[in-house]
Structure 1
Amino acid sequence: MSKTYSAAERVYDEVKELILTSELPGGELISEGEIADRCRVSRTPVREAFLRLSAEGWMRLYPKRGALIVPIGDRESREVLDARLLVEGHAVRGIVERPEAIAELVRALRANLDEHREASGDRFAVIDTRFHQLIVEAGGNSLLTGFYTSLGERRRRMTSASMHRDPAVVGRIHDDHSALADAIEAADADRFDALLRAHLAGVHEIPGAGR
C-alpha cells in the first residue's frame, strides 16, 4: 500500500509538472499505458494520479480512451488576468506610500531581472511568476498574498503556454518587467496599472483581457 501510494504521488507530481510546463499541452489525449511506461510504474498508481488530477480540473477522464489535458480556456484566462490586475495594482498603491518599501522591492525586482537574463524554458516561467509574487508580497496584505499564491500554478502554466506559442515573448516579458520596476521606483501607481494591463494582454493574447 505504501509503495502504491508513493508511486501514485510521484506520477501525480510528474504529470502535473508536464501540464504546467506545456510539455503536455491542452487538448492532448494521453493514456494510462503511455504514462505508466514513461514513469516506469504499473497502471494502478497512474490511475490514482489521473483521478486526483481530474478532481483538480487539470484533465478530463474518458473510460477506455484515456485522459484529455484540459486546455486553458479564454474565460479562465481572462478571470486570472483580471484578478492579477486587481491584486497587483492594489499592492503597488500601498507600496508607493512607503519609500522604504519601494527601495526594498525595487532591489528584489532588479535581482529577479538579472535571473531573467540567465534563464530559459520553464526556469524562466518560474522566475516570471516570482517577479509578480514579489510585488504582491510587498503590499503587506497576507490575505491577498495567499490568494495570489493560489493562482501561481495557473499563472505559470499560462506563461509556459505563451512561451511555447511564441519563444520571442521571453524578450518582451523581460522588457515589460523592467518597465514595471521603473514605474514602482518612480512611485507611479497609475503608470504601473497601465503597463501591467498592456503586459498581460500582450504576453497572453487573451481576447478582452483586462477590459
Structure 2
Amino acid sequence: MPAPSGAAERAYEHTKTRILSGEIPGGRLLSEGEVAAELGISRTPVHEAFLRLDAEHLLAVSSRRGAAVVPMAPDEARDVLEMREAIELSTARRALAHGAPPVETLDAMRASLQDQREAAAAGDVEAFVEADGRFHTVLVVASRNQTAQQFHGLLRDRQQRLRRQLLHVGPQQVASSLGDHEAMLAAAEQGDVEEFCRLVGEHVRRHRGIL
C-alpha cells in the first residue's frame, strides 16, 4: 500500500484528533467536503483519510450515507478496561518485582502527577487526560516487556477516548482519578507491588461503574 500523501495525513490526524477528543460526537455524519474546506485541500486526500479511519473503526464509511463517527459502545469500553487492567497489572508486577523502580521512573510518574494536579486545578480535562495517559504508561515502559508495550500502544487511542468520556462526566471524576494516582505513586515509591496492583484494580473498577 502506498504511503499516504501529506494532505491525506493532515486530514487523517485532524479528523482523528477531533473524534478522540469528543469534539465530534459518536453518530455524527461527516462530509469529505466539510473537512476538505476546513483544511484547504481537495476531497481526494480526505477520502483516503476517511478510509483509514474506517479501517480503525472510528468512522463508518458508506457510499449512501457518507461517513458517520462510530460511538464507543459499552461492550467496547468494558473490553478496553479489561485489557488495560491486565496489561498494567502484569507490567507493574515486573517493574516492581525488586522493590521501588529506578529514580528516573519515579521522577516520570511524579512529573505526570504534577501535570495532573495543575490541569485539575485549572479545570482542563484535556490536559488531565494527556497527563493521565502518561502516568499509566510509565510502569508499562519500565517493565521492559516489549509485547505488553505493543499491546498498550494499540489500545492507546481507545483508552484516551474512553478517559475523555469518563472524566467529562463531572469534576468529581477528575478528583477521584487524581487521588488514585497519588496513592499509586506512594505505593510505587515504597516498592509495594501488592498495594499498587490493588489500587489499579480499584481504579479500573471505578471506571467500570460509570459505564
Structure 2 length normalisation: TM-score? 0.86
Distance 1:179 1:155 in 2: 21
Residue 8 of structure 2: aligned partner: 8
Q: Displacement, 1:58?
A: 0.9
Distance 2:15 2:195 in 1: 40
RMSD (CA atoms)? 2.1
Return the letter of the residue paired with 2:36.
A
Residue 95 of structure 2: aligned partner: 95
Pairing 1:156–2:160 present: yes
Residue 59 of structure 2: aligned partner: 59
CA contact (8 A) 1:158 1:204 kept: no
Matches within 5 A, 1:10-89: 10-89=10-89
Return the letter of the residue paired with 1:156.
Q
CA separation of 1:96 and 1:29: change in aligned 2, threshold 3 A: same
Matches within 5 A, 1:168-207: 168-203=172-207, 205=209
Q: Displacement, 1:52?
A: 1.3
CA contact (8 A) 1:133 1:149 kept: no
Q: Displacement, 1:167?
A: 4.0
Residue 143 of structure 1: aligned partner: 147
CA contact (8 A) 2:98 2:191 kept: no
Residue 125 of structure 2: aligned partner: 121
Distance 1:166 1:204 in 2: 15
Q: Displacement, 1:204?
A: 5.4
Distance 1:193 1:71 in 2: 30
Q: Displacement, 1:157?
A: 1.0
Q: Displacement, 1:70?
A: 0.9
CA separation of 1:51 and 1:96: change in aligned 2, threshold 3 A: closer
Pairing 1:105–2:105 present: yes
Return the letter of the residue paired with 2:148.
L
Distance 1:59 1:206 in 2: 25
Distance 1:143 1:206 in 2: 30
**What are the Cα deviations for residues 60-107 of structure 1, in whole angstroms up to 9, with x where unaligned?**
012242211111122222222111211211222223332352654333
Q: Displacement, 1:59?
A: 0.6
Distance 2:154 2:209 in 1: 22
**What are the Cα deviations for residues 96-134 of structure 1, in whole angstroms up to 9, with x where unaligned?**
332352654333211211111223232221211111110
Distance 1:64 1:34 in 2: 17
Pairing 1:134–2:138 present: yes
The gaps in structure 2 that reach 5 residues or longer are none
Identity of aligned residues (%): 37
The gaps in structure 1 that reach 5 residues or longer are none
Distance 1:53 1:121 in 2: 25
CA contact (8 A) 1:61 1:67 kept: yes
Structure 1 length normalisation: TM-score? 0.86
